[in-house]
Amino acid sequence: MVVGNKFRFMEKLQATMSTMVEKIASCEFYAGIYQQRRPILVPNTQGVDNDPDTDLRNLYTAVQAFLDKAMDYIERGKTGTGKFTNLFQSFSVTMEPLIENIRDKEEVLKKYAWMATIETIKALPGSIQKLDSDMGQIQENLLKLDEIRTVWGKMVERFSAMDLAQELRPQPREIISFDSELQMLKSKDLSEFEALKIFQTDLYVTARGMSTPQAPESSYFNLADRLREFLSPNSPQKVCLIQGAAGLGKSTFNHFLATRLWEEYDQAIAASEDAIPPIPIFVTLARLHDPNCHNQDLISKLFKRHNWPEERIWKAKQHLQFVFILDGYDEIENQQGNFYDTNGLKDWQAKTVITSRPEYLGRGYQWKFYPQGQPKLLQEYWLAPFSINDIHEYIRKYVEMVNTTDTSGSEAARSIDDYKELMENKGVRALISNPFLLKMVMTLQRTDGSTDFKRVKLYQRFLDHWLNGAHKRLSAVIQVPSNKREALGSLCDQDFVGQAREFCLSFAVELYRHKTLEASYTSRSQYGLSTRRLTPEAKAGQETWKKFLGIDDSSQELLRRSSPLIRVGQTYRFLHKSLRDFAVAQSMLQDQALSAPDSLLNEFHVVEDHGIIDFIVEEAQQNEELQAQLLACVEDSKQNPEIAKAAANAITVLVRAGKRFHEHDLRGIRIPRADIRSGWFERAQLQGADLSGVRLDRIWLRGANLTGADIDGGEFGEKPYFTLEGSRLLTCFYTSDSELLVASYNCDNVVQVWSATNRKLLHTFRGHIYDVTCAAFPPNGDPDLFALARIDGTILLWSRQHQEAPFVHNLYMDRVHSITFSPGANFLAAGGEDNVVYLWSIATPYHTRCFSCSNTRVYTIAFSPDGRTLALAGNRDLVELRSTWNGEVLKILRNKTTPRAGNRFASVAFAPNGKILASAGWDRSLKLWLVSDGQLIYSFTGHAGGIQTIAFTPDSKMIAAAANDSTVRIWSVASLELVHIIEQISLRNSNLTFSRDSELIATGDTDGVIRQRLVPREMSGSVRVRNGHTNAVNDFAFSYDKKLLVSASHYEAAHLWSIDPPHMPNLVNVLVSPRKSSILAIAFSPDSVFLVTHDINKVHLYRSFQDKTSSSQDSMLGSHNSFVRAAAITTDGSIVASADDDGEIHLWSIQSGTKIHTLQGHTDTIYVIDFSPDGQLLVSGNSDSTVRLWSVPRCELLHTFKGHTNWVRHVAFSPDGEAIASASDDKTVRLWSVPDHKCLHIFQGHTNYVTRVSFSPDGFLLASGSRDKTMRFWSLSSRALLLNIDIQTEVTALTWTGSTPAADGLIAIGIQTGGVQLLQVIQKPGYSKENPAMELSWFWATDNGAYLNVVGARIAGVTGLNPTNIELLKQRGAIGKPAMGRVQEVEEETEWARR
């Protein structure tokens, strides 16, 4: 038999055996179905003879044993005729009776299904049909097995006529014949690594990895060891994607990995080991990748470049095992499509390691790196930054290298102590955690001793240092070749360093223009070669690189040799990709006119090239002149459409640099494909602007005018709300194709299932429906089932295909709080008012199991991913883990927080990987537990209200919690970091779910509003913009000179903000009380800031001096008999008042620290107190609906104001002390006269609790904030409503100050989610007490960039908006009618379209 036939025969044999395994596995699957159902269908199967499951398993075991033996024979070359004949005959003898035995037991299988009662059969004919269908499939597969057995018989005959032993024995020698080619590959790789050794490899520090971005340092692991596990034969993963920022050492690690794997391979070959390690193949993707080609088969292309013929490549695929180390996925141009499949990686016996910068991968990138439909074959790691220990190790190696290489003695010997100051500099710590930047810093610190580093300046200094060093070395050379001497002299006379810098920048630009990292040039005439065979494109490329790499020009050769380039053969590239990017960025900024049509800023679109644009952004942040030039470029685009690309780059840089376009005139600007996400465009004029293809996620466009703008292809990053008119939300759920299903219940006792994605009604259920408490969809996406529970304990189970005939099951319990399906939708569990949990099979719903639990009420139930464990939580501070089989208690997880009333768990959830359980409830924390041992891993905090529901992403990497503080917080499970806060969401009895690809998160409440948002990736800076609080802000104070603002939040530090200069407020200090207790009140004195804090019933005073010359002071004023709720400080900083749950107010002297008096009179909790401007009066409001006025000097009650019908939330004195305003839960604001002790007016209009009131400094206006998400401004003269402003969230703090250099007044607003916002007051002409006409403009906000704000934005005549975006903008408060016409396309809902 010829060799080719032999290989084809082997392929056919393996394929046939694989098919047989699949058929047998299919039988095993159906056997598993019966095994899973039997415990309920046949409660007592012990003693039942002729168990068909046993026979199926025996058959499977016999076939598997045969396959293992056959493969062993083939691999060991034992393929003689006699051995195979005996093996096949033995197998046939074994298999025959097993198949016949199973056929004889067909009736037994059916009997098992029919042992249920006659009533069950009548009620569930569909289930019996399903079982019969299963039986048929088993029989069908058994017949196929019989056919395969016949095939084996024919193959036995074929083997009898052949003697393959002689032909198969040379096969090992065939593999050995690859040795010369492999050695050539290894030599090339290692020689190239050697060229990089001086700059990188000699200083190599063990690379550390992370399981997720931002993982804590304690969780770092040895990345090489983890890769060894990935490469082991027992690991199922095929691809390992390693992500890391620029300069973290991805390429260096790949070099190290390839070198180590070659060493292991050589050692195994030398030792003649049986198990040969895989062969490492290092690939620089940028060299091979053709941006104009999709299906490239890069690995085959690599071998062809090394002159491997097709036949050798085919044989390598069949007989060799590889590790492909693919370096720099982020450096290839075309990243569309599945990289794994389109490049033929599936055709190789190989595992693949790919590295990339994360910012170039985009959303939902994982599907590109694994075989289609097999996500479990992908492993992801992140390269960790240097820890402090890594930095120490690097410095030690660096010092050793410097002292070893400096043999001339020109420098004093270095020691680690010389770099002690560098390591202790916290400002440099983040910078030097990047290995490449650490090398730069070490080099520069060695030469000039400076430790004042910023990234852009660092690269500038490094380049100058390198070029100056090269100049000195050339100048010191005594015998310069004659053909170079004149060129060197000329260069030195004309600023050598400047010309060398220009060479570097020009070379970098050409590399970027050609979309490559390296260039090669060989003078063909030098070697007597003809250029006739080169294509025109290749000739043009050679001419381009000749200018930089040719040998004819001595000056260019000297400049090239002086540049920070690496040379491998005739190929040149920069020491690091970031050096090339820096040089390109510098070149783009050196053009005299940035807005010229031929400028580099207008040639390259770098909006999405983070490597370049980040350098420009950093430069702009430090250079106001550059900001002015970029802004001028944006302005010039109004008149010149040819510079649209430059304008898009410019505005992207400005937004990322923090430029605020507050009321800017941007009419007619052209910025297509710009990225202005999270930008500030308050009341900006954008009429007629070209915003096509612009990223607009989380942009602040409140009051902006976009009339006539073109937003074709613009992306807002959100979907419109789906509102259930007149219905109550029951539950929501994503199907496997990311369609959001919503179940609702209305007053007509009808349950409907909607597609929120397509906005269509799918199903309507009627009959037996009333007083519905909860509902559930199967978690496996089964389109057929739906369950709901009534208040009387009845469960209704529907097939959505047969809507009119629900199965009704009465549990005889008071109220069902929770129902849930098992992962395979085989079981349904329910719990409620009693302490019993019910569990029954979907196939036989009359067969029910139940067991009692420790909680007297069960509020939430969750199945583990394998369906074997139930997690239960209720009205006690514990979670029970119980067996679904018999209800046995497996573990008890206890809430160990301080016991408080209502400290119960409201939600539990298993991570999809089954390793972690999460629980959350009214103590405002979310806890993670290890399922294996019940240990508490971590407790997330930050919510200002009780948590109602939680959910894991399907990949188990993140968890979200929805709370009644109107926020959803998303945390990383691995790094334990807060990833994102979704704000301005009204959540009550909320629902929360993630799509199957973890791309979307849906929230819904009982008001019938369902919201969908994109889930943010775990990236730094995504949680909070400009350092806002993470809990609700509860108080403000302006300094006397109005240059400082201090904000306070419960359970957090106070933040001190500078609002001078007014155009860019910034955080200047964080005031942390030593006790870290809750801040109740804050106030400025002329020289300090006071914080009043409490620790349950104790009151503390913390004083921080502004000049920082005096030490801060912290003292305890005293104790109350109950919980302290409120506090206030007089304007002169002499007295503190504190109020408690018993209705008492204590007055304290700040100077002496002693109690002055106790004011008594309230009968219930006091929520708010306030001093009059002169400190002589005190006003208080409480839950008994009264407002009380007290005399501070006399310590007595002056008057009790009555009129409110609900709790009083806030009180405030007018500037002259003559009036008091009070805010109440009765949705009104009342104005009281202090002298006359009467109600002057009732301000009505709010639709929810009024939470805050504040007078304008001149006393003309009154502002009120409410839970209805509005702030209203009232004239105190006419009592009229002047303004009604949509805040989009609950106002929790409100303070008004007088005129500043920036405005006629500023209003500070604190919101529920921890944001701080400043509103600019603009007084209109004729402003007076009788006519206090004014308008507001948002001046600044810490939560800018946290959500989309388009309230009041004018979109009349806007073109290019698709229907989805039109609906989104309308819902968010935009006004006007967009143009209907040229680009009204139906929105694509597929994942590829979004990418």
pLDDT per residue over 1293-1327, tens digit each? Answer: 899 887 665 567 888 888 877 788 888 888 888 89
User: Which pLDDT does position 675 carry in this prediction?
Assistant: 93
Unique residue bearing structure tokens 């010191």: 476
User: Which pLDDT does position 177 carry in this prediction?
Assistant: 54
CA dist., res. 160 & res. 163, Å (int):
8
Look at 94 and 1142; give whichever has higher pLDDT. Answer: 1142
Judge whether residue 1227 has pLDDT over 50.
yes
User: Which pLDDT does position 482 carry in this prediction?
Assistant: 61
CA dist., res. 1034 & res. 714, Å (int):
38
What value does the mean pLDDT take over residues 890-897?
A: 77
Judge whether residue 112 has pLDDT over 50.
no
Q: What percent of the chain has pLDDT over 90?
A: 22
Judge whether residue 87 has pLDDT over 80.
no
Do 1182 and 1207 touch, CB atoms closer than 8 A?
yes
User: Which pLDDT does position 487 carry in this prediction?
Assistant: 66
Look at 120 and 452; give whichever has higher pLDDT. Answer: 452
What value does the mean pLDDT take over residues 621-643?
A: 93
Three-state DSSP at 255 gives helix
pLDDT bracket for residue 1031 (50, 70, 90): confident
User: Which pLDDT does position 106 carry in this prediction?
Assistant: 45
951: left (phi over 0), alpha (psi -120 to 50) or beta: beta
What value does the mean pLDDT take over residues 901-927?
A: 82
What value does the mean pLDDT take over residues 564-575?
A: 82
User: Which pLDDT does position 172 carry in this prediction?
Assistant: 39
pLDDT in tens, 671-729: 999 999 888 898 999 999 999 999 998 898 989 999 999 999 988 878 888 888 778 88
pLDDT bracket for residue 804 (50, 70, 90): low
Do 807 and 123 touch, CB atoms closer than 8 A?
yes
What value does the mean pLDDT take over residues 46-59?
A: 46
Do 1134 and 1151 touch, CB atoms closer than 8 A?
yes
User: Which pLDDT does position 2 carry in this prediction?
Assistant: 36
Q: Name the CA radius of gyration of the chain, rounded.
A: 37
Tokens (6 digits) for 81: 């005729």
Alpha-carbon distances of 1054 from 546, 943, 1036, 1064, 1071, rounded to whole Å: 62, 17, 9, 20, 5
Do 758 and 768 touch, CB atoms closer than 8 A?
no
Unique residue bearing structure tokens 């596990």: 229
Do 1044 and 1038 touch, CB atoms closer than 8 A?
yes
Q: List, in order, residues 6 or more apart from 816 with CB less than 8 Å away.
A: 773, 774, 789, 790, 791, 793, 795, 830, 831, 832
pLDDT bracket for residue 84 (50, 70, 90): low
Selection from 59-68, 159-168, 1147-1156 with the highest mean pLDDT: 1147-1156
Tokens (6 digits) for 455: 């990234």
Look at 458 and 1029; give whichever has higher pLDDT. Answer: 458
Look at 123 and 1270; give whichever has higher pLDDT. Answer: 1270
Judge whether residue 326 has pLDDT over 70.
yes
Unique residue bearing structure tokens 């497996």: 890
User: Which pLDDT does position 1392 carry in this prediction?
Assistant: 32
pLDDT bracket for residue 1384 (50, 70, 90): very low
Tokens (6 digits) for 672: 């297509």
Three-state DSSP at 438 gives helix
Selection from 295-309, 311-325, 852-866, 1352-1366 with the highest mean pLDDT: 1352-1366
Judge whether residue 425 has pLDDT over 50.
yes
- Around 740, how many Cα atoms within 13 Å sit in the side-chain half-sphere? 28
User: Which pLDDT does position 199 carry in this prediction?
Assistant: 43
User: Which pLDDT does position 290 carry in this prediction?
Assistant: 63
What's at 424, amino acid-wise?
Answer: E
Backbone angles phi, psi at 502, to 5 degrees: -65, -35
CA dist., res. 866 & res. 659, Å (int):
52
Alpha-carbon distances of 84 from 17, 1195, 1219, rounded to whole Å: 14, 106, 104
Question: How far out from the chain centre does Cα 717 lie?
Answer: 14
Q: List, in order, residues 6 or more apart from 303 with CB less than 8 Å away.
A: 312, 313, 316
Lowest mean pLDDT among 173-182, 353-362, 1195-1204, 1330-1339: 173-182
Lowest mean pLDDT among 226-240, 261-275, 1206-1220: 261-275
Q: List, in order, residues 6 or more apart from 1088 with CB less than 8 Å away.
A: 1103, 1104, 1105, 1106, 1133
Selection from 24-38, 121-135, 1118-1132 with the highest mean pLDDT: 1118-1132
* Burial label, 1298 (beta-carbon count in 10 A; 0-12, 13-18, 19+): middle
Concatenating the DSSP letter of every residue in 1298-1352 gives --BTTBSEEEEEEETTS-EEEEEEEEPTT--SS---EEEEEEEETTTTSS-B-TT
Alpha-carbon distances of 251 from 147, 370, 436, 1153, 1206, rounded to whole Å: 53, 22, 11, 63, 67
User: Which pLDDT does position 615 carry in this prediction?
Assistant: 93
User: Which pLDDT does position 1108 carry in this prediction?
Assistant: 55
- Give the CA-trace dihedral at 800, 806, 812, 813, to 10 degrees: 20
User: Which pLDDT does position 1323 carry in this prediction?
Assistant: 87
pLDDT in tens, 434-461: 788 887 877 777 666 665 677 888 888 8
Judge whether residue 197 has pLDDT over 70.
no
CA dist., res. 681 & res. 684, Å (int):
5
pLDDT bracket for residue 165 (50, 70, 90): very low
Judge whether residue 1023 has pLDDT over 60.
no
Judge whether residue 1375 has pLDDT over 50.
yes
User: Which pLDDT does position 1093 carry in this prediction?
Assistant: 78
Q: By 3-state DSSP, what share of the chain in percent is helix, strand and coil, each rounded to 5? A: 30, 30, 40
Q: List, in order, residues 6 or more apart from 688 with CB less than 8 Å away.
A: 667, 668, 707, 708, 709
Backbone angles phi, psi at 296, to 5 degrees: -115, -25
Selection from 331-345, 995-1009, 1164-1178 with the highest mean pLDDT: 1164-1178
User: Which pLDDT does position 1336 carry in this prediction?
Assistant: 84
Do 1200 and 1182 touch, CB atoms closer than 8 A?
no
Judge whether residue 901 has pLDDT over 50.
no
Look at 1211 and 266; give whichever has higher pLDDT. Answer: 1211
Selection from 239-243, 412-416, 472-476, 808-812 with the highest mean pLDDT: 239-243
Full-model pTM:
0.71
For all residues of the chain together, what is the average pLDDT?
A: 77
pLDDT in tens, 249-262: 888 888 889 989 98
User: Which pLDDT does position 397 carry in this prediction?
Assistant: 81
Lowest mean pLDDT among 118-132, 280-294, 768-782: 118-132
User: Which pLDDT does position 652 carry in this prediction?
Assistant: 96
Of 825, 616, 1141, 769, nearest to 36 by C-alpha is 825
pLDDT bracket for residue 550 (50, 70, 90): confident
What value does the mean pLDDT take over residues 1228-1235?
A: 96
User: Which pLDDT does position 1394 carry in this prediction?
Assistant: 38
Look at 338 and 212; give whichever has higher pLDDT. Answer: 338
Lowest mean pLDDT among 271-285, 356-370, 512-526, 666-680: 512-526
What value does the mean pLDDT take over residues 324-329?
A: 90
Judge whether residue 294 has pLDDT over 80.
no
Tokens (6 digits) for 690: 């070209």
CA dist., res. 1069 & res. 1061, Å (int):
16
pLDDT in tens, 219-232: 789 999 999 999 99
